[in-house]
Amino acid sequence: MTENEKFKNIYENAYNQQKQTMELNYTQFKNMIENAYLQHIQSIELYYTQLKNMIENAYNQHIQMIKTNASIMKSYSSMFGNNEIGKNIEKMESDFLTLNEESKKSMIGQLDLIKDNYLSNAAKINEGYHKMQSIDKFVPNPDGSVGSK
């Protein structure tokens, strides 16, 4: 084997090792991006669920408070035999319960919009990473030129 052939073999081996290393690093980078995207989605879903549960719990607590307060006020007014105040308290209780329900629906609706927006943004970011050019565009060919063969 001539010196030129030995040098060519060494060069080709080094080139192939370098190319494999770059391709491996690129694959690892792509996997990191995909894992980060999936973790991002999980975080969005988790926070959404936690916030929705908080809204539901607050809603249920408000219902209990409204009903308890209305019951106390009705009992107090009936002690004095004033039925008209009792009817007004029932109307007020109904209005508060309706308002509470509408508030819950509004908050969950806003939360849904925020979640959809976050998921959409995450998908756009992920799509951008997947549109990145293949590593082949950056690996020089053995002859020194650049570009896919």
What does the pLDDT look like over 33-50, one tens digit per residue? 899 999 999 999 999 999
Of 11-25, 65-79, 96-110, 130-144, the range with the lowest mean pLDDT is 130-144
What is the residue type of 55? I
CA 25 to chain centre: 27
Domain boundaries, the chain: 35-131
Q: Give me the chain's average pLDDT, please.
A: 89
Q: What is the pLDDT of residue 108?
A: 97
Average pLDDT over residues 83-89: 88
What is the value of pTM for the model shown? 0.71
What does the pLDDT look like over 88-119, one tens digit per residue? 999 999 999 999 999 999 999 999 999 999 99
CA angle 14, 19, 23 (to 5 degrees): 150
